[in-house]
Structure 1
Amino acid sequence: MNQLKQRRAVIKGLAASAIVGPSMFVRAQSNWPDRPIRVIVPFPPGNTIDIAVRLLQTGMSARLGQPIIVENVVGAGGRIGTAATVKAKPDGYTIGAVQSGTIIVQPHTTKNLGYDVTKDLARVALSVRNFNVLVTNNNVPFKTLPELISWAKANPGKLTYGSNGEGGFPHLWFEDLAKRAGITFTHIPYKGATQIATDLISGQIMAAGDGVSAMTPFIKANQLTLLNVTNLTRVSQYPNVPTVSETVPNFVANGDFGFAAPANTPSEIIKKLNAAINGAVESPEVVERLPGLGLVGIAQSQSILKRSLRENIRVLVRL
């Protein structure tokens, strides 16, 4: 008899938990967010993706009603920060900034990443797009891309080129350029744009590639020479600067930046995040600042991010 009562008590307890558990979960979602949201940026301050996130930070916070805390988790060409996003609790309180290099290039170039970007990350929003730039030390023996190519052919392997990590997007697009131009070079990987610029200015390396927004302060200060842009056509902020495609036909290398959440983050939370990010991208203060940073705002659904990634994979997989 006592065993029967105990069994009934257990069954009632399980039934109660089955009712209360989901209702508490639904209530937690409906109350989201009720505390600050952390955004993991996988590169150091001053990198293009860091600039983009901080530009949207205030607008996102205003629309979500909670502080947005930006945390730079750097290393391994962005893999450490991306892994931190993957491992975070899927409750909407930790999301990650993502870009072409970390979620398109690296899965095709790096073995044993430790995560699968197609399964372990939920796409949230595609926020901005930018073109890359090829910059040089002011005192190098070439002033144009054709001159760089000629010098590199005459001095095999002596051209030193810096980027934000082995297998990252700026590394691979220059690999593609070098292959198509028939030159060789020595790649020097860095953690971020500031380190690249420091060594480039001091003459430790000869050339580098990165997002235009990361290099703009050094270009405007005349500390670096802007050789080319990787957009298919010339850009309004630097109308006199030639594109790479003017020397290497049809060459283009633009980067996409967006946000992702750990897999299994509730879809309703992702929709709210998407709306907040899109609202921030379209806000007057952000729209006004984007062109000066070499960025184009893209306020779209998470499905557009997925489609953009698929298109970029087709372009980049040949690298």
Structure 2
Amino acid sequence: MNDFSFQTACPEGDPVVLPRAEHGISRSRITENSLKVLYRLHRHGYKAYLVGGGVRDLLLGRQPKDFDVGTDATPEQVKKLFRNCFLVGRRFRLAHIRFAGGELVEVATFRRAPTPEDIPEDPAEHPFYAENLFGTPRQDAFRRDFTINALFYNIADFSIIDHVGGLEDLQLRRIRVIGDPQERFREDPVRMLRALEFAARLDFDLDPAADAGIRQCAPLIAEASPARLREELMELVRHRVAGQVLAECQRYGMLEWLVPGFRLAPEAEALLRAMDDRGGKAPAPPEAKVLAALYYQEFFAGLDPERDMNLAEVLGRAGKLLRGHCQH
């Protein structure tokens, strides 16, 4: 991890600002196209920050797989600056800037949480109103999930801006939720899986409040969209932490709510961990292989003569567990 120093206390409302001389991020580690986006926004008078996981990874000495940009320019203003820009997302409006060679830089306008005055007379007619309320960088930081994902790199002076204590959490190697963990997990139960994922990927610990929040809110994972859960499962596979995270889900009592009736058997965990441990730059296994590993024990246990189940019953039971995946 890059060495850096920081002040741990600051006046209410003021961020910690880490000057260029006090952190190890070099522009040579940021892609040329990402720098083009940042500099053009800055030249036209807009705030332009690298945001999120890219800043976290650079501070940890890791090379990010992509870079995201935050700005006070609206999506329409961003589009005017870049001919190769396309606006995407109905729920959450974003600017995608695509370059030759396939690199895509995602640009998001700083958002804020809604106030009572923002609620429309008929929310049903405006279901996504809360996702597109533009705000300040500080307001945007407090909307993010974990402190280590809410750090900003300011292209204007190459400083790191920290509104939420993320620098300290990087130093202490801990995953801390922004705000009250139970409240944030109720807002979006998938955050519990993401907390476990980041802890596994980075070899960090959950802070006590996050740990307690997951134990309390574990059943809420059943309310998450199956499509999002499926996407998150494949994210665990891509980052080679599926076996570890699903074992943690079982330890927290979350797995039984993720997949009712399912328990991660030692054989299935071993298969997933073997996939996680594949060497070099081997591609992630296809989803079919992941599901086969997950349900391996359920299928073969049914073939045990002592359980007195015929093949139709075995396939029926395994099929019930698989159906949620196959429908989305």
Shared fold per TM-score greater than 0.5 = no
Compare relative contact order (CA 8 Å, sep 6+) and give the higher one, 1 or 2. Answer: 1
TM-score, normalised to structure 2's length?
0.25
Larger Rg: 1
